[in-house]
Amino acid sequence: MAFALIGLRLVDVMAFKGRVTGAIATVQIRLSGARADLLDRNGALLARDLPVYDLYARPHAFWDKAEAAHDLAAATGAAESRLDRVFASSHDYALVARELTPDVQDSVMHLGLPGLEFEAAAKRYYPEGDAAAQVLGMTEPGGKGIAGLELGLNDRLSNAQPGTAVALSLDMRIQYALAHEVEQAREEFTAKAAGGIVMNVRTGEILAMASLPEATVGGAPLANGVDPRRNRMAQDVYELGSVFKIFTFSLAVEDHTTRMDEVFPVGSGFKLGKFTIHDAEHMPAEMAARDILAQSSNAGTAQIALRSGPDRQRAFLGSLGLLDAAHSELPESAAPLIPRHWGEIETATVGFGHGISVSPLAFVTAASIIVNGGRRITPTFLKRTGDARGEQVIKPETSAQMRELLRYVVTNGTGKKADVPGYDVGGKTGSAEKVVGRGYLAHHLLTSFCAVFPIDNPRYLVFVMLDEPHGTKATFGLALAGFTAAPLAGKVIAHIAPMLGMPTTTPIVAPTKENS
């Protein structure tokens, strides 16, 4: 009888892959195709499938179902009450637990229970922890992507050849630097939330994208209403305020509706119908157009926007992609909120970034077109090689003049605190009262800064945003973008420029007795 049993077992192992019913525990291996690895642009591992096992049971094979439920719950961490209920039912085949690691599998085998089957599976691991968690996303237990790039690239990742990897545009060095500086600023100014993006303006590659506070596994919305699981840089839309003036001035330069040395009355505000547009800070009675941008005058910008008119303004913003959701490999992409009626009042307010809400990802894509020579780019989270700029959207001369104006904002305007010696930063501040319902919440600001460097031949754009920052003693209690977002952008650039191999424009002078 013993030899007969051994013979039957050998036949089963060789012919039927180990399926035996009755008192002998069984193991059935069903290999499923593992997803491809995700790598950053430098080859750092971001996501990988590791082998695990799903455990199934045939309850009718147990001598004592209650004891089996107790022992399996202790070994696997499954809920004993659920196992009791499932085993007591008439199910012939029941799931015990998913994604068991080899050591847990070994503990189950030592129980010596009959009627068990292990199905080979894979569990997605993220070696960098929560870094870029909202961008990378996650998979469900079955291995299918359900959020972030895991969902957006699901077909490519799940149908890849074994051992292959997908290289992303993300640079984890830049990701960590951006997240660190943004979190420091969020704490310094006690902001509810914050975020940032670093984009290559020539290729459209996203090198870093951070939404803070950062997501954690099983994270839930915080007491202040902020959901750390949301990728606010792509999934939410905002009235960004004065950074939108970049587009108003680009249109004025493109169509030659305004000379930059032309003077406009601004000091007492600008009356439009029954409304008067005022500035947040005191302005002189008259200002040249370039100083209207540098000092961020809403009254002056409204007058410049009206010279283009509603139809031309809308068409121009549409040509930059601002009237549609930003398309990339991320499935989370918010559509903008635009005026239903686009008349003169809307043209004036949209001119300085009110009355229109866009995602930060859509904004940085459009701003990159303005500074990269005026050519279209598509945002991407996949690594690219070579210049990926497409059709001409604005004239190269317009792009060159806008770069000069953005540099002037940093050297002579509200963006002074964003300047980084040696890197010739250009940029624009944005301070906007937050929208609540159909109105605005006074003294609750969303501040941002759009920085480009090196401004004479741009390579990278840095966008940072702070949600409800508070002034400090160092900022004299002021929370405007020039005091909160601008210095943050400067710190990010100072941190990442050496990593990106960007040479400084200021030669390094060897120390001497005179300058040491």
Strand ranges, E, within 79-156: 94-100, 116-125, 138-139, 145-147
Residues 172, 126 contacting (CB under 8 angstroms): no
Please identify which of the residues 169, 211, 242, 250 carries the catalytic annotation. Answer: 242
Q: How many CB atoms lie within 10 A of CB 168?
A: 27
Strand ranges, E, within 58-170: 94-100, 116-125, 138-139, 145-147, 165-167
Q: Per the structure block, which two tokens stand in for 158? A: 């799940």
What residues contact residue 179 under an 8 Å CB cut-off, 6+ apart?
131, 196, 208, 210, 212, 214
Peptide bond preceding 454 in cis form (omega within 30 of 0) = yes
Amino acid at 439: G
Q: Per the structure block, which two tokens stand in for 243? A: 């950074």
User: What is the Cβ-side half-sphere exposure of residue 205, based on CA atoms within 13 angstroms?
Assistant: 21
What is d(CA 290, CA 294) in angstroms, rounded to the nearest whole number?
6
User: What is the Cβ-side half-sphere exposure of residue 510, based on CA atoms within 13 angstroms?
Assistant: 0
Peptide bond preceding 213 in cis form (omega within 30 of 0) = yes
Is 368 tagged catalytic? no
What is d(CA 480, CA 465) in angstroms, rounded to the nearest whole number?
12
Place of tokens 């030659």: 256
What is d(CA 418, CA 247) in angstroms, rounded to the nearest whole number?
20
* DSSP letter string, 198-243: EEETTT-BEEEEEEESPP-TT----TTS--TTS-HHHH--B--GGG
Residues 316, 308 contacting (CB under 8 angstroms): yes
| Three-class secondary structure of residue 271 per DSSP | strand
| Element spanning 491, H or E | helix 485-496
What is d(CA 65, CA 63) in angstroms, rounded to the nearest whole number?
6
Greatest alpha-carbon span in the chain:
107
Catalytically active residues are: 242
